[in-house]
Amino acid sequence: MQRFLATIAKLPLRRLPWRFIGTGFLSASLLVLSFPPASIWPLAFIGFVPFLLGLLYARNFREVAWMGATHSIFYILFGFSFVSFVVTNFGGLPWIVGKLVLVIFSLFVALPVVYIGLDFTYPKIFPNTLGHVLYNWLPVAQLAEITGLFGLTVPILLSNLAIAILLSRTVGRRQLKGPAAAGLAGPFSAVLALALVAGFLWNADRWGRARMEKLNAQERGWTRKLKISVIQGNIGDIDKLSSERGYEPAIAHVLNTYREATLDSVKNFHPDLVIWPETSYPFLYTHLMDQGANASGAARDQWMKDFVHEINTPMFFGSYSNSGKRDFNTAFLVKPPFDLAGQYRKSILLAFGEYIPLGPFSSIIQDIVPSIADFGRGPGPVLFDVKGAKLGPQICYEGIFPEHSRGAVKLGADFLLNITNDSWFGLTGEPKLHLLLTIFRSIETRRPMIRATNTGISTVVDLTGEMRWSTRLFEPASIDTTLNFPGPGQHAPVTFYTRHGEYFASTCGVFTLLASLLVFGPGVLGWSRRRATSVKALIGR
């Protein structure tokens, strides 16, 4: 121990740019607090100010690198702490391994430099953006039907930049010598930018409120109705895993929990559709067909057949299916007396949870962490029909990817139907963050979303993005409600974003590429050696 402490004492810690490390930490903390579970969303408008001030005052690339690494690493460590929780509790690995995985994950996400362009193009397991925090300002969030979430990021970034410039010019007395200060706009430009942001947000708020009123009036005028019952069973991880492994008391507990809650809703509400969450039927569902099911599997499917016949109501539930040697995370629609009306196999899988994206090394990881599944991929969006309503099913993780919901709406979906299980994440901020990332699909596509989860948060979202009904975390609950959808001669809106997708973010990506070539690749553009040298000197290389 003494030798270790002596080695630490010899490290050149005094030489580290602690001011810039602290600046990166402060900026990361402000941004983390703007997202769930804290959700102090106005902090997003100043969260980047310390970081930008650091860029302006940095004298060399070393200071910028330390600040950027600190910012990105601590943002991931704090904002995605649930990664460590899942690795430890679901993966069955020691806590130190969970922390190590979180650090590696944070280093991976630390690489993007040019914000929106790389925010769109850079691979992320959880595709959150700064624009998500504006859900708390719902009228402004309506802009997502035009620009998507990346368009909502622009006023936040611009306000951060303008405030940083103002502070550097009016508060900071030290002369700006850093390469980032070259060509820096003056206080007048910063004030003008803030005025433009304020004016933009004020007009966006007015437009958004009018848009929401118009959409709500349109929805009230739709003539067809669908009565739904969402069942939140609140099945804990131990019972869920035990039931999947064939432990009979756990199986009885799971099935009886959903049975009793469903019978209560059917008796008192008479729904057109009952919805159970992801893998709520925790077995391979064979529909009494010969897919290698053993006697106990056939008996459980017979139980489901009898139950659907008993309630005489269509059921949508999560389970598993099999094709050849591959299992699939699957959703089934079953109609009485016991007709399989449709099945949907999950097509966007969670890396390191439902598959291992490491090619030839996947089998090695599978041996170390056998709890990681190896599911096959489904073909993509499909539609289910219930009482004339077209439902676009999606399973859990798929709800945070706009292209999946866009695909379902292009097929003709009247509703987005999401089933989820977030029980693995425990009492972390992940369930609230997951909901925030999912809920924007209703704004982007102008389709109501029905979200059924095992442990919460289950909700029904209208086409303005407002949650009309929602449940609490880790409580058994149900939602019984009636939803309107277009009748003959009526049409749901088709948004600009649904038709054109991420055109705004793609444009930013093109500009990012051009800017990168201008700064880092002058030789590629045929510039003179003298010009290339001056550019490299500007960025400190």
**What is the dihedral sign for C-alpha 478, 481, 486, 488?**
positive
User: Token pair 């630390």 is at which residue?
Assistant: 110
Asked if residues 208 and 140 have their Cβ atoms less than 8 Å apart, the reply is yes
Q: Where are the alpha helices (DSSP H) in 58-137?
A: 61-79, 82-89, 95-109, 115-121
Per DSSP, the three-state class of 242 is helix
> Does 372 score more than 70 pLDDT?
no
CA–CA distance, 29 with 44 (Å, rounded to integer):
10
- Assign 291 a pLDDT band (cuts: 50, 70, 90): low
Asked if residues 107 and 505 have their Cβ atoms less than 8 Å apart, the reply is no
CA–CA distance, 110 with 77 (Å, rounded to integer):
11
- Assign 162 a pLDDT band (cuts: 50, 70, 90): confident
> Does 9 score more than 60 pLDDT?
no
φ, ψ for residue 483 (rounded to 5)?
-115, 140
| Whole-number pLDDT of residue 311 | 95
Per DSSP, the three-state class of 540 is coil
| Whole-number pLDDT of residue 273 | 98
CA–CA distance, 480 with 179 (Å, rounded to integer):
60
Asked if residues 82 and 425 have their Cβ atoms less than 8 Å apart, the reply is yes
Asked if residues 258 and 231 have their Cβ atoms less than 8 Å apart, the reply is yes
How many Å is the Cα radius of gyration of the chain? 26
* For the chain, counts of helices (H) and of strands (E): 20, 12
| Whole-number pLDDT of residue 65 | 74
> Does 197 score more than 90 pLDDT?
no
Compute the 3-state secondary structure of the chain and give helix, strand, coil in percent, each to the nearest 5: 55, 15, 30
| Residues 6 or more apart whose Cβ sits within 8 Å of residue 355 | 349, 362, 372, 373, 374, 375
Average pLDDT, the chain: 79
| Whole-number pLDDT of residue 30 | 87
- pLDDT tens digit string along 93-118? 555 555 555 454 444 333 333 444 44
| Beta partners for residue 295, in sequence order | none
CA–CA distance, 507 with 120 (Å, rounded to integer):
10
> Does 5 score more than 90 pLDDT?
no
Give the pLDDT mean for 491-505. Answer: 91
Rounded (10°) CA dihedral 213, 218, 220, 224? -160
- pLDDT tens digit string along 342-356? 899 999 988 767 777
Q: Which amino acid is at 252?
A: A
Q: Where are the alpha helices (DSSP H) in 247-335?
A: 248-269, 295-311
| Whole-number pLDDT of residue 534 | 43
Structure tokens belonging to residue 361? 């090394």
CA–CA distance, 91 with 98 (Å, rounded to integer):
9
| Whole-number pLDDT of residue 232 | 98
> Does 481 score more than 50 pLDDT?
yes
* 503-520 helix and 149-170 helix, angle to the nearest 10 degrees: 50
Per DSSP, the three-state class of 173 is coil
CA–CA distance, 159 with 134 (Å, rounded to integer):
14
Give the pLDDT mean for 285-312. Answer: 75
Domains of the chain: 16-215+503-538 (no CATH), 221-351+368-499 (3.60.110.10)
Tally of CB atoms within 10 A around 310: 13
Asked if residues 304 and 332 have their Cβ atoms less than 8 Å apart, the reply is no
- pLDDT tens digit string along 209-267? 999 999 999 999 999 999 999 999 999 888 888 888 888 889 899 999 999 999 999 99
CA–CA distance, 8 with 2 (Å, rounded to integer):
10
Asked if residues 452 and 230 have their Cβ atoms less than 8 Å apart, the reply is yes
The reported pTM is: 0.79
Give the pLDDT mean for 113-131. Answer: 55
CA–CA distance, 33 with 38 (Å, rounded to integer):
5
Please report how many Cα atoms fall inside a 13 Å half-sphere around the Cα of residue 247, on the Cβ side: 12
| Whole-number pLDDT of residue 196 | 82
Q: Where are the alpha helices (DSSP H) in 144-228?
A: 144-147, 149-170, 187-220
Structure tokens belonging to residue 295? 């006697």
